[in-house]
Structure 1
Amino acid sequence: MLSIVQRDHLTVKSELKLLNQVQQWFEKFCRQNLSEISWLENQLYRLNLALAEGFTNAVRHAHSALPPDTIIEIEVCLWMDKLEMRIWDYGQPFNPDAIAEPKPGTLQVGGYGWFLLRRLADRVVYERGSDGRNCLVIVKHATEQ
């Protein structure tokens, strides 16, 4: 088992205006490791987009009925062969697998974010923790270039 290279944690209020701060924090985290973990640079845009989607979903959907000072916690863990993001929210739990994937050439209301997340990452899980929070787990494995 490979040991973790770096781990970082960010706690922010549930406000869309903080998305830029979240993305800058993530990019700085990744850029600190580019010389050691070369595959990361090729995936940085995709991972930052996945993080943005996860964060905005927490703000817009999970926390829509909660005060803006409700916190969202984000943890990023980096190994030599994968990156894992965890985004915790306090919203009502739901089953993302119940969301129908948009069919090509058709329009539907909602569901595009989960469709996008599944395309950007190798593994996406949304689960309810014993502490009453939900956790979105996004995992991207190193790919041979």
Structure 2
Amino acid sequence: MLSMVKRDHLTVKSDLKLLNKVQQWFDQFCLQHVSQLGWSEGQLYRLNLALAEGFTNAVRHAHRALPPETTIEIQVSLWINKLEMRIWDHGKPFDPNAIAEPEPGTLQVGGYGWFLLRRLADHVVYERSTDGRNCLLIVKYANEGQGHGA
């Protein structure tokens, strides 16, 4: 089993104005730990975009009816061969797999974020945690495409 290289976490209020803070925190983590392992700028850009999408979904959808003081917890775990991001929210549980994927050339309301996340990462799971929160798990492998089908 491969050992973890580094882990960090951030807890922020449910406020879209904090997106820059979240992305800067992630960029700093990548600068200090991830880039030395040979990850490409493109991989890190896609991960940052996935983090932004996950965070904004938590604020806009999961926490829509909750007070802005409701926290969102983000954890980044770096392994030799992969990076895992977990974003915990306090919203009502739902099944993102029930969202129809947009058909090419058509317009639909909603669902694009989940569609985008699945394209940016190798593995994406959104499920209810035992502590009553929802956890969005985003996994990206160091070698492009290593985790597809996992």
Scaled to the shorter chain, the TM-score interval is over 0.9
Q: Post-superposition shift, 1:125?
A: 0.2
* Equivalent residue pairs, number: 144
Q: Report the alpha carbon displacement of residue 24 of structure 1 after superposing the two structures with TM.
A: 0.1
What's the counterpart of residue 32 of structure 1? Answer: 32
TM-score by length of 2: 0.93
Question: How far did 1:40 drift?
Answer: 4.8
Find the counterpart in structure 2 of residue 51 from structure 1: 51
* 8 Å CA contact 1:30, 1:40 repeated in 2: no
The Cα of 1:34 is off from its aligned counterpart by 4.3
Q: 1:123-138, aligned counterparts within 5 Å? A: 123-138=123-138
Q: In the TM superposition, what are the counterparts of 1:1-145 in structure 2 within 5 Å?
A: 1-34=1-34, 36-143=36-143
- TM-aligned CA distance change 1:71 to 1:117, over 3 Å: same
- Alignment identity in percent? 78
CA drift at 1:77: 0.2
Kept in 1, the 8 Å contact 2:83–2:139? The answer is yes
Q: What is the root-mean-square deviation of aligned Cα atoms in Å?
A: 1.0
- Cα deviation code 1:70-90 (max 9, x no counterpart): 000000000111000000000
Contact 1:11–1:71 under 8 Å retained in 2:
yes
Structure 2 spans left out of the alignment, 5+ residues: 145-150
Code of the aligned partner of 2:98: A
Deviation string 1:70-125 (CA, Å, 9 cap, x unpaired) is 00000000011100000000000000000000000000000000000000000000
Q: Contact 1:34–1:40 at 8 Å: present in 2 too?
A: no
Which stretches in structure 1 are left out of the alignment for 5+ residues?
A: none
**Equivalent residues of 1:86, 1:136 under 8 A apart:** yes
Q: Is the 2:34–2:78 contact (alpha carbons within 8 Å) kept by the matching residues of 1? A: no
